[in-house]
Amino acid sequence: MYLTREEERGYEGEFGWANKICMKILVRLGELFDATKLVPISSAHVSGVSYKTLGDAPVEFLEALSAAGGKANVRATLNPQGFDAEYLSQKLDADLRRKQLNILKQFEKMGFKQSLTCTPYYLEEPLKDSHLAWAESSAVVYANSVLGAWTNREGGPSALAAAIIGKTPDYGVHKPENRQPKVSIMLETLLQNEMEFGALGNYLGRILEDRIPIIHGLKGCSREDLKQLGAALASTGMVNMFHLHSASMRTEKLEKIAIEDKDIKRSIENLSTASESKPDLIFIGCPHCSLNEIKEIARMMDGRKIKSGKEVWICTSRFVKEKVKNDAQKIEKAGAHVITDTCAVVTWTEKLGIKTIMTNSAKTAYYAPTLNKAETILAPLKECLNTALEG
Ligand code: F3S
C-alpha cells in the first residue's frame, strides 16, 4: 500500500501512539483487501457504542486511545447508546449506567459528537460522491444507495481509526468498478407499505450474497421506504448498496431474479415469531425516525390515547426530536414515549421484562429474537399504532 511521507511518519509513531495504532489498523485493513492507498473522508460514524453490544474488553482500548490524546480529525458521529437520559436510564441499574457513561466520556474526549443515532444523515447529509467511513450497516446502505456517497461497511475499530486519521483505505465500494450492479431484481408485486420494503430487503439479503442488485419495478417509494429496505438488506446480507432502475444503466446482460408477492409474504411470516399478538412493547424507529415519520405518527395519534398498560416507544435522534417538538409532544400526550439516543435492540429490554416486541421494522424483527431474546410481531406502522391506541 502506498503511503505519503506524512502517513509514513504517523505509521512510525512520530505523531504519538494514538495516531500510530490507528494508522496500523487502517494499513492492516487496506492490505487485507488489496487497497492501494488511503483516501480522505468527510466523516466517520462509529457503531458499537451501546455497552450492551460493546461489552468490557474494547473499553480499555477506548480509554487508552483517549488518554493518549486521540482526536477525531473529521466530523465524527456515534451510533445509539444503551438508554436515553429521561425514561430508560431511570429503569436500569446504576452499574450499567456508569459503564455506558464512561464509554461516552471517552468518545467525547476524542471529539466525537454525541449524536447517538443510527441515522447520522438526518443531522448532516453527506455530499454525493464524498468518501466516508461509516460503521452502522443501515446507514452505510442508505449513504451509498440513496445519497450517492461512498462508504464500506466499517467495523467499530476501523471507523474509529478512520475518524482519527481522517482517511480510509480505498477498497470495496470506494472504487467505481466495485459499485456496478451484478444482478437485476425484477419486482413483480407492488409493495404496500414500509414494512414490505423491509421484508423485500430481508429476502434480498438472504439470496444476494455479495452481489449488488439493481431493482426494477419499485414505484412511488419514499426515502423512508428505502431506509427500511436498506436496513433489512444489510442485516441478512453482505451487500453495501443497491441501485434503483434508471434508463441510463445498461442491465441487459445481468442475471435476472424475479421477486413475487409470495416471497414478500414468506419473509414477513418468518420475521413474526410470536404465537399470539399481545406485545409487551410496540417499537417504531428502527432505523431512527425521520422528521416526516415523527410528523406522520403525531398525525395518527393526535387526540387519541394509548390503551392502559401498553408500552410504546418511538425512537429518533435528539436532533430530530428537537426539530419537531410539537409533534413529539402530541405523541407523548397520547401516552407513547418519544425516546432519543437508543432503541429497543441496543437497550436491555430483557431487564425491563419485555418478551414480545411488535414493530414495523424488518431489521428489528430479524435481530430481536437473538439480541433481545424476544418474540416478534412484524406489522405496518398503521397496524402497530392501532394495536396500541384505544378506539
Ligand atoms: Fe438503529 Fe437500533 Fe435499528 S441502532 S438501525 S434503531 S437496531
DSSP-derived letter for residue 275 is S
- Assign 251 a pLDDT band (cuts: 50, 70, 90): confident
pLDDT, mean of residues 149-174: 97
- Assign 153 a pLDDT band (cuts: 50, 70, 90): very high
pLDDT value for 390: 85
Residue in the structure block whose three cell numbers are 405496518: 380
When the pLDDT of each residue in the chain is averaged and rounded to a whole number, the result is 96
Q: List CB contacts of 95: < 8 A, sequence separation 6 or more.
A: none
Task: Identify which of 47, 288, 316 to mutate to test ligand 1's pocket (most ligand atoms within 8 A of the CB).
Answer: 288
pLDDT value for 201: 98
Q: Are 161 and 19 in contact (CB under 8 A)?
A: no
Q: Residue 72 and residue 295: Cα distance in Å, rounded?
A: 34
Residue nearest to atom 7 of ligand 1 (CA): 345
Cell of 223: 426515502
Q: Over 80: is that where the pLDDT of 391 sits?
A: no
Q: Is 226 in the pocket of ligand 1 (CB under 6 A)?
A: no
Q: Residue 241 and residue 145: Cα distance in Å, rounded?
A: 5
Q: Over 90: is that where the pLDDT of 275 sits?
A: no
Residue nearest to atom 6 of ligand 1 (CA): 286
pLDDT in tens, 329-369: 999 999 999 999 999 999 999 999 999 999 999 999 999 99
Residue % of the chain over a pLDDT of 70 = 100
- Assign 166 a pLDDT band (cuts: 50, 70, 90): very high
Q: Over 80: is that where the pLDDT of 276 sits?
A: no
**H or E element that contains 27:** helix 17-32
Q: Over 80: is that where the pLDDT of 104 sits?
A: yes
Q: Residue 175 and residue 195: Cα distance in Å, rounded?
A: 32
Q: Are 325 and 295 in contact (CB under 8 A)?
A: no
Q: At what angle do helices 17-32 and 156-165 cross, to 10 degrees?
A: 120
Q: Residue 232 and residue 200: Cα distance in Å, rounded?
A: 8
Three-state SS at 306: strand
Q: Is 289 in the pocket of ligand 1 (CB under 6 A)?
A: no
Cell of 311: 408500552
Q: Is 343 in the pocket of ligand 1 (CB under 6 A)?
A: yes
pLDDT in tens, 120-151: 999 999 999 999 999 999 999 999 999 999 99
pLDDT value for 220: 84
Q: Residue 306 and residue 300: Cα distance in Å, rounded?
A: 12
Ligand 1 atom nearest to 285, measured from its CA = 6
Q: Residue 79 and residue 117: Cα distance in Å, rounded?
A: 5
- Assign 246 a pLDDT band (cuts: 50, 70, 90): confident
**Do strands 183-187 and 213-216 pair parallel, antiparallel, or not at all (unpaired)?**
parallel
Region of residue 55 (phi > 0: left; psi between -120 and 50: alpha; otherwise: beta): left
Residue % of the chain over a pLDDT of 90 = 95
- Cα torsion at 88, 89, 93, 95 (round to 10°)? 140
pLDDT value for 248: 82
pLDDT, mean of residues 49-74: 95
- Cα torsion at 385, 362, 354, 79 (round to 10°)? -100
pLDDT value for 258: 97
231 CA distance to ligand 1 centroid (A)?
A: 9
Q: Residue 200 and residue 198: Cα distance in Å, rounded?
A: 5
pLDDT value for 206: 97
- Assign 277 a pLDDT band (cuts: 50, 70, 90): confident
Cell of 227: 431506509
Task: Identify which of 271, 290, 339, 343 to mutate to test ligand 1's pocket (most ligand atoms within 8 A of the CB).
Answer: 343
pLDDT value for 187: 97
pLDDT in tens, 225-238: 999 999 999 999 99
pLDDT in tens, 172-202: 999 999 999 999 999 999 999 999 999 999 9
Which residue spans within the chain are E strands per DSSP?
A: 38-40, 43-46, 75-78, 132-134, 167-169, 183-187, 213-216, 243-244, 255-259, 281-284, 312-316, 337-340, 356-359, 375-378
Ligand 1 atom nearest to 288, measured from its CA = 6
